[in-house]
Amino acid sequence: MIGLDRLAEAPTGLLLVLKATAVLAAAWLAHGALARANPRWRVLAWRGATLGLAAVAALAFAPPLVTWRVAAPPTTVEPAPAIAPTPIPGPRPPARPPLPESAEAPPLAPAAHLEPPRAVARIASPTPAAPIDPAATLATVWLAGVAAGLARFAFGSWRLSRVIRRADEASASVLAACRATVEGLGIRRRVRVVVAPGVASPCLAGVLRPTILLPAGMGLDAPGPDLDAVLVHESTHVRNGDLAWNDGLHLTTIALWFHPLAWRLRAAHASACDAVCDAVAVDRLGDVATYGRALARLALQASARPAPRGLAMARACDVRRRVESLHRMVHRSPLPRRLVMPALLLSAALAALVGGAAVIRAQDEPAKPAAPPKPALIVRVLDAATGAPLEGAEVESSFFDPKADKRVKATATTTADGVVRVEHEPGVEPTVLWLIARKPGYVPGSFYRGRGGWGEPFPIPESKEFRLAHGVELGGVVVDEAGAPIEGATVELSTAFADSDYPPLKMTITSLKTDARGRWRSAEVPDALGDVSLSISHPDYYQAAGEHPSRGDLRRVLTRGETVTGRVVGPGGRPIVGANVKLRSGSSSAGIADAKTDADGRFALLHARPGEFHVMAEADGFAPAFRDVQVKRGGGADAGEVAMEPGATLRVRVVDAEGRPLSDARFSPSLVRGREWGSSFRAKTDAEGRAAWKDAPPGETTYTFSCRDMMTIRTPLTPGDEERVIVMHPPLVVSGAVVDAVTKRPIPKFRVEYGVIGEGRDRPSWQPDVKDAADGRYSLTFEFPQVYTIRITARGYKTAESPGFHVDDPGAATRDFALEPRPWLEGVVRRPDGRPDLKAQVALLTPRASAALAGAAFAKYQTASFLAVDADGRYAFPRPEPPFLLAAVSEAGYVEAKPEDVAKVADLQLRPWARIEGTVRVGEKPGAGEWVEFLADRRPLRASSSASDLWVSSRDRVQADAQGRFALDRIIPGPGHVSRTLATQSDRTRYLIGAEPVDPKPGETTHIDIGGGGRPVVGRATFDGPVDWTRNRPAQIMTEYGSIERPEGGLLHTKSYFGVYDRDGRFRIEDVPPGRYRLTIQVDPAVPATPPAQNESLAKTVRLLVVPPGDLATPVEVGEIAVRPESMLNVGDPAPALDLERIDAAGGRYVLGDRRGRLVVLCFWASWAKPFARLMPMLKELEKARGGDPRFELVGVSCDDDPAEAARFARENGLTWAQTYAGPVGVGATADFGVTNPWSIVIVGPDGRILARGMPFDKLQEAVAKALAGMEPSSTR
C-alpha cells in the first residue's frame, strides 16, 4: 500500500489513476447497492461517475482544493561521489575501522611507507546502455492502447453508418406508428425508422440524427404488439439521451483501457438504461406479460452480435433478468426530486474531494495558479563593441498612467541573455515613459518619451534595445576653503537622454558620495564630456554651480554657506512658534534652506549662498508672508521681523464651459504683489469642483489652475464670502493645411514646431517639441495661454513661420501654410579619403545660432540646427540667407564651409584632426597635474554679421601627467595658442597662462613646450573695506603691450599670468619670464549672485612691473599694494592736483594749479612705449603750431622707471616742451588721472576741469584748435 508520504512525490499520471480508481470503486459500490432499486438510480450513478472522472482529469491541472500535509523526509547528507581507483593486484592493506563523527582524520602516513605503484593492464569496458525511463515506457503503452481503442470505435461507427445507408425505409404504417409513439413521449426531434437486413436485434443509432434499426424477417414490418414494444423502448432511449451518454462511457473505457473497473462501464450503463426503457414501455402498453413475451421473442430470434455503437433492445443473455425485474414493479415510478438533488450535490462534492485532493510535504506550499502573463516591454542590453548580451545590467523604468493618475516605477536586472521584462497593465497608454540601463563600467543607456510631460498618451513599445559603450574614468577631490577633504559630499554627473523627444531633460549618469579623503571616482562617464554636467552638494555647504567637467583629477572647493536669521511675528508682535521658514529664489516650492521658528519665533537658515532671495514663512491660521533679503559673503543676512497676518478663506469652484464641475483640478498661488513667491499650498477640487484655502493672503493674488484635458489658466483672485467660479476651457487645437504655393497640392511630409513669444520679445523661443506630419495636414495642441508661432519645414521648400497669435485670438485654431519651392542646402559629408562618412554630424550656424563641439560631435543645447547624416552620408538644410556657416564633424575629422564654398561644392570633405603634444613646466619643475588648453584664433574679436565671424567653439583641454607631459588628440587644424590654465574656487572662469602660439596641421602632430624659465611674483593686496580675497578674481600680470611692436596687419599678442590670494590678500604668480608687465589687482563686489563680469569691480589698481632675470626659485617682491576704489575721470570733472618734478633744462617743479587760464595738454609717456613713438611727431607739430600762444601749454609727464633715463630720452628725441616725471604707471599722478597707458592725452581747460581724455592721436590738433577758439583773450595771462 502506498503511504501518504509516498504520494507527495508520486507522478501526476499515477495520481490520476488512483483518483479514477476511487471514483470507479464508488460507482461500482453504488451499482451493487442499487441492484434491486429503481434502475434510474443506477443510470444516475453511472452518469455521475462519468462526470466525476472528467472532473478528476480537469482538476489535475488546477490548484488543489484540499491538501494533506505529510512529514518531510529526513535530511541526509550523501557523501560526494568518489572516483573508484582501478584495482591493483597485490596485498591488500588492512581495513581501517570507521571513525566516529567527532573524530578527526589521522594524518597521512609518511611517503616512505607507501608502496610504489604497479603497472596494470586495463581492459576498456563497453559503454553502458542508457537506462529505460519507466514513465516514458508506460506512457507509450497507454497511448498505444488508446489509439487501438479509438480505431475500433471509429471502425464500428463506420460499419454502423454503412448499415444505415444500405437500409430500406420502413413502411408507411410503421412510420405512422413511430410518429405517434414519439409524440406520445413528448419527443420533438425527428426519429427515423429503417429496416436493415444485417441487424440481429432492434437497436437505436445516431446521436445527432437518431435512427431506429428494425431487423428484417422478425414481423416488425406492420403494426402490432412487438412493433409497439420496440418503438416505445427505443424512443425512450432517444428522450433520455442514452446513446450520447453511452458513447461518453465508451470513450472513458478507451481512456482507462488498462483498468479492470472500467471494462464494463458501458455495459452496466446500457443495462440500467434498458431497464428504464422497459419500465416506460410497460407503462405505455399496460401489460407486463405482453411486453415480456415480445422481448423474449425478439431475443430468441437474434443470432448476430449487436452493432458496436447502437443500443440493442433484446439480448438473450439478460432477457430473463429483465422480465423478472418488470414483475417486481420497482421501476415503474420516476425518481423523487427531493432525493435527486441531494444525491447530485453529494456526488459533486465527492468528485471535487477526490479530484482536488493533493498530498504535499510539510515545508511545501501548494502551487498557486500561474497568473496570465502581463504585457511587457522587452528591454535588451548589449555590449556596444561586441554585441554580446550584458547580464546583470540594471534597468530602471518609469511611466505615468494618466487614467490611474499614478507613476509606476520599477527596477530589474537583465538575465544571461541580456533581457529584462518591464511589465505593465493591459491597455496602458502613458504620457511619460523613460528607461535607463546601467552596468558598472559602461555609460548608461537612456530612452525618454513624453515631450516634457505634456505629450499625448501613447502605446508602450514592445521592445527597446540598448547598446552600452565602455565608460571612461573621471574623478576628483572635494575640499573646503582651507583645503581639508569633505566626506559625504554628493557628486552627480548628468547628461541628456540619449534617445529623447525632449532634449532639455537630463538623466543622472551616476550619483556618488566622497570618501573620507574627499575623493570620488566614476567609470561610467562618456568619452565626450561636452554634454556632461557636474554638480557637487553637501548639507553643510552651499551647492557648487553646475559645470562641464574635464579630464583628469578634478579639484572642487565647497564654501560654507552664510546664515540668514530673523523672527516671525503675528499681530501685535507676538511670536509665531513652529512656523515653516524657507529661503527661496523665484517660484520654486523647494527651499534653498529650511527652518522652523522656536518659542520666540526666531529662525536661522543655514548654509545659504550669497545673492538676492526672499524669506517665506508659512503657519496654520496665517497667510504666507515673505521678506526680501540680500545674503552677503562673509556676513549672511538679517531678515528682521517677518510679519504674518491672519489668513482669509478663498473658495473656488472649477467648471467647464458648460458649467459642469471639474474634479481633481489643481490650484495654487503663483503671483503676489506682482512677483512669483512659490507658496507650498496645493489643493484639488472635489467631485463638485470645489476647493478652499483657509489661509489665503487677504489681498489680490494670482492663482494657477490646471486640469487634465483643460487649458491651464492664471487669474487674480481676492478672498471673500462669495465662491469664485473658475471656467476652464479645453486646450486650443490648432490645425491647418500645408500646400505647395505653386501647385496647391498637399505636401507629403513636413515637420511642425512651435515657439513661444515672451512678453516684450519680438523673436520666439523655439521649443524642442518637434512633430512629423504628412499628407498636407497638421495639428498642435496648446495648453497654456501664451503667444505662439508655428514653423513648417519641408524638404525642397522655404521654411515658413506664422505670425504670433494668442490662444484667445479669433481664428487661432486654423493656421494654413503655402510653402514656396526653394532648393535646400544638400550634399554629402566625405571622409578625408573621399568616401562618404556615415557617422558625421552637420551644423548650420547663423548670426543668431551658435554651436560647440563635444568630442567628435556637436554639443547639445546649442542654438544652431544640427543633424546626423543619412545612410548615404547626405545632409540637407533649409537654405538660409547669408551669412551662414556649415560645419561637419566625425571621428575622421572636421570641416567648415562658408556660403561661397558651398556655392562651388556642396559636398563637405573632412580634414583630419590635428594633434598637439608637449610638456608644461612651472618654473624649474614639471607641471604635474597642470591643465593645458588649446584656444583657436578663429574666434572673432567683435560681434559681426560676417560669415567669417561665425565659428564653432571647442574646448580642448587636458591634464598633464606627473612628468608634465600632455597630448591633445583631437584639434581643429589652424593657428591658435596653447596655455596653462588656472581655475579658481569662486567661479568657473578659466584663466589662460603664458599662451604660446601654435599652428597644428591636419593629420600631423605638433610638439610644443610651454612654461618654465620664469620667476614667481609675490605681494600683498590691501583694501579699505571688507573683501573675501579667497573668492576674489586672481591677480593678473600681463605683458605690457606698449613695449611690443604690433605686427603689420596682424594682432598684438600678449601673455598673461595669474595667481590666487590667501585670506590676507597675499598672492603668488608663478613662472613669470623676465620682461615688462602691468600688474592688475581688482576687488570684486561683496555679493555677486553669479561670477563677476570682466569689467565689474569695486576697486582696481594697475601698476607697471619689470621682472628682471635671476634665480628661478627667488621670487620678485612687489610689496604691499593698496587698491583704491575706481574713480573714472569724466569730461567736466575737476582735474586732480598735479605737482611734479621737472626733468627739462628749466628744472624746478611743475604745479598744474598755477596754470589756470591756460589750455593744458598733458601727455603721459614712457620711453619704452612703442605707441608713443607714433605720437611724438604729432606732438612736435602741435608744439610748433601752438607753442607761441600764451593761452596754450603742452606738458610731458614721464612714466619711466628712472627720471634720468627719461630726461636723456627727452633731450635726444627733441621733446622741447615742458617735461615732468610722475613715476611708473599705477602710482602718483597716473593713478590720480586714471592713466593706465603711457601714451595717453588729457586736456585740462582754463577753468581747471577735464576738457578731453583718451582721444585718438589724429584728433589732437583739431581738439586743441576748437578749445582755443572758444577761449576769451582776456582769459590769457
Q: Are residues 235 and 203 in the same domain?
A: yes
pLDDT digits (tens, 9 = 90+) for 138-157: 888 888 888 888 888 888 88
Classify the C-alpha dihedral 601-607-612-617 as positive or negative: negative
Q: What is the DSSP string of 127-152?
A: PPPPPP-HHHHHHHHHHHHHHHHHHH
Cα 831 → chain centroid: 34
pLDDT at 14 over 90: no
Q: Are residues 259 and 167 in the same domain?
A: yes
Dihedral pair phi/psi, residue 1092, rounded to 5° = -65, 145
pLDDT at 88 over 80: no
Euclidean distance between CA atoms 1193 and 1188, whole angstroms: 9
pLDDT digits (tens, 9 = 90+) for 503-550: 778 899 999 999 999 999 999 998 877 678 888 888 888 765 566 676
Provide the whole-model pTM: 0.59
Asked whether residue 1046 is assigned to any structural domain, the reply reads yes
Euclidean distance between CA atoms 843 and 795, whole angstroms: 17
Q: Which of 468, 500, 519 is the last residue of a domain?
A: 468
Q: Are residues 1231 and 1135 in the same domain?
A: yes
Euclidean distance between CA atoms 415 and 410, whole angstroms: 16
Span 804-820, mean pLDDT? 90
Span 373-386, mean pLDDT? 92
Higher pLDDT, 378 or 325: 378
Span 669-676, mean pLDDT? 69
Lowest mean pLDDT among 102-111, 339-348, 476-485: 102-111
pLDDT at 1051 over 60: no
β-bridge mates for residue 774, sequence order: 749, 777
Higher pLDDT, 854 or 620: 620
pLDDT at 437 over 90: yes
What's the CA angle centered on 747, arms 743 and 749, to 5 degrees? 160
Task: Give the range with max mean pLDDT: 504-513, 914-923, 1047-1056, 1180-1189.
Answer: 914-923
Task: Give the range with max mean pLDDT: 219-233, 521-535, 926-940, 1151-1165.
Answer: 1151-1165
Q: Residue 1059 corresponds to which cell in the numbers above? A: 595667481
Q: Are residues 1056 and 1154 in the same domain?
A: no
Cα 994 → chain centroid: 43
Looking at every residue in the chain, the average pLDDT score rounds to 82
Euclidean distance between CA atoms 783 and 713, whole angstroms: 9
Residue 521 is predicted with a pLDDT of 93
Residue 627, C-beta contacts closer than 8 angstroms, at least 6 positions apart: 566, 614, 615, 639, 640, 642
Q: Are residues 177 and 293 in the same domain?
A: yes
Span 816-841, mean pLDDT? 95
**Going by DSSP bridges, is the β-strand pair 724-727/648-655 parallel, antiparallel, or unpaired?**
parallel
Closest C-alpha to 556, from 514, 525, 503: 514
Q: What percent of the chain has pLDDT over 70?
A: 81
Span 776-797, mean pLDDT? 93
Helix H or strand E encompassing 235: helix 225-240
CB 365 within 8 A of CB 67: no
Span 1057-1065, mean pLDDT? 91
Residue 1225 is predicted with a pLDDT of 83
Q: Which of 1100, 1126, 1152 is the last residue of a domain?
A: 1126
pLDDT at 1094 over 50: no
What's the CA angle centered on 166, arms 165 and 172, to 5 degrees? 90
Residue 480 is predicted with a pLDDT of 86
Euclidean distance between CA atoms 1233 and 1220, whole angstroms: 15
CB 362 within 8 A of CB 71: yes
Q: Are residues 814 and 860 in the same domain?
A: no
Asked whether residue 132 is assigned to any structural domain, the reply reads no
Dihedral pair phi/psi, residue 1211, rounded to 5° = -65, -45
Q: Residue 724 corresponds to which cell in the numbers above? A: 469664485
Residue 620 is predicted with a pLDDT of 92
Euclidean distance between CA atoms 1083 and 1061, whole angstroms: 11
Asked whether residue 86 is assigned to any structural domain, the reply reads no
Q: Are residues 1258 and 1145 in the same domain?
A: yes
Residue 529 is predicted with a pLDDT of 73
Question: Domain range for residue 411?
Answer: 376-468
β-bridge mates for residue 825, sequence order: 877
Q: Which amino acid is at 1044?
A: I
Higher pLDDT, 826 or 708: 826
Lowest mean pLDDT among 202-216, 481-495, 549-563, 1016-1030: 549-563
Asked whether residue 88 is assigned to any structural domain, the reply reads no
Dihedral pair phi/psi, residue 1180, rounded to 5° = -65, -40
Residue 260 — pLDDT band, cuts 50, 70, 90?
confident
pLDDT at 1055 over 70: yes
Residue 312 is predicted with a pLDDT of 64
pLDDT digits (tens, 9 = 90+) for 300-327: 665 444 444 555 665 555 666 666 666 5
Higher pLDDT, 956 or 350: 956
pLDDT at 395 over 90: yes
Residue 1220, C-beta contacts closer than 8 angstroms, at least 6 positions apart: 1140, 1141, 1142, 1143, 1150, 1195, 1196, 1197, 1198
Q: How many domains does the chain have?
A: 11
Q: Which of 795, 822, 849 is the last residue of a domain?
A: 822
Residue 1275 is predicted with a pLDDT of 45
Euclidean distance between CA atoms 110 and 100, whole angstroms: 23
pLDDT at 328 over 60: no
pLDDT digits (tens, 9 = 90+) for 1002-1015: 999 999 999 998 99
Residue 1074, C-beta contacts closer than 8 angstroms, at least 6 positions apart: 1014, 1015, 1107, 1108, 1109, 1110
CB 233 within 8 A of CB 277: yes
Residue 341 is predicted with a pLDDT of 66
What's the CA angle centered on 759, arms 753 and 763, to 5 degrees? 45
Higher pLDDT, 170 or 447: 447
Asked whether residue 119 is assigned to any structural domain, the reply reads no
Span 810-824, mean pLDDT? 92
Span 433-447, mean pLDDT? 95
Asked whether residue 663 is assigned to any structural domain, the reply reads yes
Residue 892 is predicted with a pLDDT of 95
Q: Are residues 229 and 295 in the same domain?
A: yes
Euclidean distance between CA atoms 243 and 237, whole angstroms: 7
Asked whether residue 978 is assigned to any structural domain, the reply reads yes
pLDDT at 586 over 70: no
Q: Specify the DSSP class assigned to residue 609.
A: P
Lowest mean pLDDT among 158-167, 624-633, 720-729: 158-167
Residue 81 is predicted with a pLDDT of 38
Closest C-alpha to 959, from 537, 475, 513, 489: 475
Q: Domain with 694 in it: what CATH number? A: 2.60.40.1120
Residue 943 is predicted with a pLDDT of 39
Span 1156-1177, mean pLDDT? 90
Closest C-alpha to 1206, from 1141, 1111, 1116: 1141
Asked whether residue 92 is assigned to any structural domain, the reply reads no
Q: Are residues 274 and 411 in the same domain?
A: no
Q: Are residues 770 and 853 in the same domain?
A: no
Q: Specify the DSSP class assigned to residue 1061.
A: B
pLDDT at 31 over 80: no
Strand order in the sheet with 874-877: 874-877, 825-830, 908-909
Span 1234-1239, mean pLDDT? 85
Q: Are residues 604 and 520 in the same domain?
A: no
Q: Are residues 1032 and 918 in the same domain?
A: no
pLDDT digits (tens, 9 = 90+) for 453-494: 766 788 999 999 999 999 988 898 998 878 899 999 999 999
Tell me if the bond preceding 39 is cis, omega within 30° of 0. no
Give per-residue burial for 1150-1168: e unless 16+ CB within 10 Å, then b. bebeebebbbbbbbbbbbb
CB 1236 within 8 A of CB 1224: no
Name the one residue in this structure whose C-alpha cell is 581724455: 1253
